[in-house]
Chains A and B, each alone.
Chain A
Amino acid sequence: MNTSLSRGTKIALWVALALGFAVIYAPLLVVLVNSFNADRAFGWPPSRLTGQWWAASWDNAGVRSALWTSVKAGLGATAVAMVLGTMAAFAVQRYRFFGRDTISLLVILPIALPGIVTGIALNNAFRTVLAPFGIELGLFTVVVGHATFCVVVIYNNVLARLRRLGTGVEEASADLGADTFQTFRYVTFPLLRSALLAGGLLAFALSFDEIIVTTFTAGAGVQTLPIWIFNNLFRPNQAPVVNVVAAALIVLSVVPIYLAQRISGDARTI
């Protein structure tokens, strides 16, 4: 393609791409190397490499329980976001009503406003509204907080897919005698599945790595992985474990991302 671009420009662009990726991955390589660094304060260059941190992390009970809590919170938030996001996307795409344009603005608000504002607003609301009912800050409030900003990711994906699908298939299904629920179950949902999956993976990633809102909604007993990392970031004994956890996450995350790309088939939905 592109005979329109001069060779010089093309080379410059490829170099820019390479530099960009180098910049993105350099710190990650530093993290990876530091997870083997024998020096606990990570002086550079590392004088000695060791695998002891990887062994220590495996035994670390704090990491394992924090990881499990993060997974639970992520799954919960993604599930809720899927339901809410799909409903909102259907409403906006298929109907016309007053305030329709504001919905996009509204949905993006939780992710567009600074996390600390969302965090303290939710914290304040939970303490005044839920506490009298005996619902303390805990995993439930974390899921609520995360779901609020995960909705937009699902919403956008489903909206884009619905736009492409059009209403023809659903009308055909109704003509053939399927009721509303059957149409959704047998016709619409399978067509939406890949969009939901791609959006769900991104929503899970957002929830998994979230620290700011979580600090305010988690309360005393709940430690998600980012909170565990935050508490242990500077501790001499634990900092190497933190590096190991991060390195492991980077390596492991390639799989779900690759799957998401294959499934969505559409590389552009964020």
Chain B
Amino acid sequence: MRSMRIALTAVAAVVLVAGCGGEDSGSASPAGGGGAAGGFNPPNIPAAQSVGQGEGQVNLVAWAGYAEDGSNDKSVDWVTPFEKQTGCKVNTKVAGTSDEMVSLMKTGQYDAVSASGDASLRLIAGGDVAPVNTSLVPNYADVFPGLKNKPWNTINGKSYGIPHGRGANLLMWRTDKVKPAPDSWGVVFDANSPYKGKVTAYDSPIYIADAALYLMATQPALGIKNPYALDQKQFDAAVSLLKQQKTIVGEYWSDYTKEIQAFKSGDSVVGTTWQVIANLAQGEKAPVEATLPKEGATGWSDTWMVAAKAQHPNCAYKWLDWIVSPKVNAQVAEWFGEAPSNSKACQETSDKKHCETFHAADEPYWTKVHYWNTPIAQCLDGRKDVTCVDYSKWTQAWTSIKG
């Protein structure tokens, strides 16, 4: 009937619009589909030239614990003072993994993001973030030199963000259920583990690097030098280790509150964690401890970046300056349990030995921590004779690891 025919034509129209619309033409995807870190050309997006009046609001994508407004602990709040000082109301979306952050930033609804190294390059290459004019962020001058101009936040000399802090992924365990206290990642990779069904692991493809790190120490014959630069043979070894680990895993976590709850109730007794989770669990009277195992660990170095199409760029820049100011940076670093990025923050921490404990100025220490990085086909450890496995394969492998 006529109305049916008209309807069908309209459907076709919608499909065509959806098919032809949308912006993908501006992407700077280099031929071959993957860019080398530092060796690709990001889209040309201008950095802001000045910071004007606040727009009244700022939408952030942040790791848990980075934008505390008192709702977790009344005394832990650096958002409300910011709102009072600048008039920018803060809306935070807590993301559990770097992948979530990348996809959230792609929606264009957020103004700033605290990106780890495995997200920052993807955001830059995808044109989702703009270069940051560091002269507009006064506190940038005091950031540790060891964090400036790094491959994951600076491309072709242009700075894309303000370093936030750095830390390592730790091993957490229930002191009453796991004895003796573990000092090696072996406790979560042991196929005959006595804690079968109560082990937890981080729910993201980037966790494959943790398996590679363990193999670096236990199977040196594989020749792994950088857990993010794995050729096919090394990658397969890591994947089969993880498939074996799945048999003892009870739950994978990406929501930090779920991990806290699982450790508190005893459904998880050992696994990967962040210092802030251990702190919160201890605050909940759960008997847990966390440590950096002897094989080293993966970790992160986070950078606050500004969205390319930010709707509140002025408030975003104000937030960037706020979060790396000495007092606030010290608060975040202590709450989260990481090393601050502002050298002056070390005098502001309530625990005077915080910077020492977290190795804030200890550059040799950070050579043992392998920051999250996006694996690409061009091996990140410099090997030219083999192709490394890129992140899309990591993602597919992760689905088959979880079965």
Q: List residues of chain A with CB under 8 Å of any chain B CB.
A: 40-41, 43, 62, 97-99, 124-125, 127-129, 132, 136-137, 219-221, 231, 233-239
Contacts and interface: CB of A to CB of B under 8 A. Distances in A.
B107 A221 contact: no
Interface in B191-220: none
B260 A236 contact: yes
A234 B255 contact: yes
Contact of A221 (B22, B91, B257, B265): B91
B25 to A, nearest CB: 14
13 contacts: A41-B264, A99-B1, A124-B18, A127-B22, A129-B18, A129-B21, A136-B109, A219-B107, A220-B93, A220-B109, A234-B255, A236-B260, A236-B280
Given A99-B1, A237-B72, A40 B284 contact: yes
B373 to A, nearest CB: 28
B261 A220 contact: no
Interface of B: 1, 4, 14, 17-18, 21-22, 59, 71-72, 91, 93-94, 107, 109-110, 255, 257-258, 260-261, 264-265, 280, 284
Nearest to B64: A235
A235 B21 contact: no
Contacts of A221: 59, 91
Contacts of B1: 97-99
Contacts of A43: 265
Given A99-B1, A137-B107, A137-B109, 9 more contacts: A97-B1, A98-B4, A128-B17, A129-B17, A129-B18, A220-B59, A220-B93, A220-B109, A234-B255
Given A129-B18, A236-B284, A99 B110 contact: no
Nearest to B71: A237
A221 B260 CA distance: 27
Contacts of A233: 257
Contacts of B265: 41, 43
Contacts of B260: 234, 236
Nearest to A41: B264
Interface residue SS majority, chain A: loop
A186 B264 CA distance: 63
Nearest to A235: B257
A-B pairs with lowest CB-CB distance, top 5:
A234-B257, A220-B109, A98-B1, A128-B18, A41-B264
Task: Name, among A124, A127, A219, A236, the residue most crowded by chain B CB atoms within 10 Å (CB to CB).
Answer: A236
B257 A219 contact: no
B64 to A, nearest CB: 10
B91 A220 contact: yes
A220 B22 contact: no
B257 A127 contact: no
A128 B13 CA distance: 13
Contacts of A62: 71
Contacts of A238: 71
Given A98-B4, A220-B110, A234 B258 contact: yes
Contacts of B14: 125, 129
Nearest to B22: A128
A236 B265 CA distance: 12
A158 B110 CA distance: 43
Contacts of A236: 257, 260-261, 264, 280, 284
Contact of B72 (A231, A235, A239): A235
Task: Name, among B14, B18, B265, the residue most crowded by chain A CB atoms within 10 Å (CB to CB).
Answer: B18
Contacts of A128: 17-18, 21-22
Given A99-B1, A137-B109, A220-B110, A234 B91 contact: no
A238 B72 CA distance: 9
A237 B68 CA distance: 13
Nearest to A61: B71
A245 to B, nearest CB: 16
Contacts of A129: 14, 17-18, 21
Nearest to B21: A128
Contacts of A124: 18
A53 to B, nearest CB: 15
A137 B104 CA distance: 13
A41 B284 contact: yes
Given A220-B93, A236-B284, A127 B107 contact: yes
Nearest to B283: A236
Contacts of A98: 1, 4
A137 B280 CA distance: 34
A239 B265 CA distance: 14
Nearest to B18: A128
A263 B21 CA distance: 48
Nearest to B258: A234
Contacts of B280: 236
Nearest to B255: A234
B6 to A, nearest CB: 12
A219 B109 contact: yes
B282 to A, nearest CB: 12
Task: Name, among A43, A125, A233, A237, the residue most crowded by chain B CB atoms within 10 Å (CB to CB).
Answer: A237
B324 to A, nearest CB: 24
A137 B106 CA distance: 14
B212 to A, nearest CB: 30
Contacts of A40: 284
Nearest to A121: B18
Given A219-B109, A237-B72, A125 B284 contact: no
Contacts of A97: 1
Contacts of A234: 255, 257-258, 260-261
A149 to B, nearest CB: 19
Given A219-B109, A235-B72, A237-B72, A125 B18 contact: yes
Nearest to B2: A98
Nearest to A138: B109
B48 to A, nearest CB: 21
B79 to A, nearest CB: 14
Nearest to B257: A234
Nearest to B73: A237
A107 to B, nearest CB: 14
Nearest to A220: B109
A108 B17 CA distance: 26
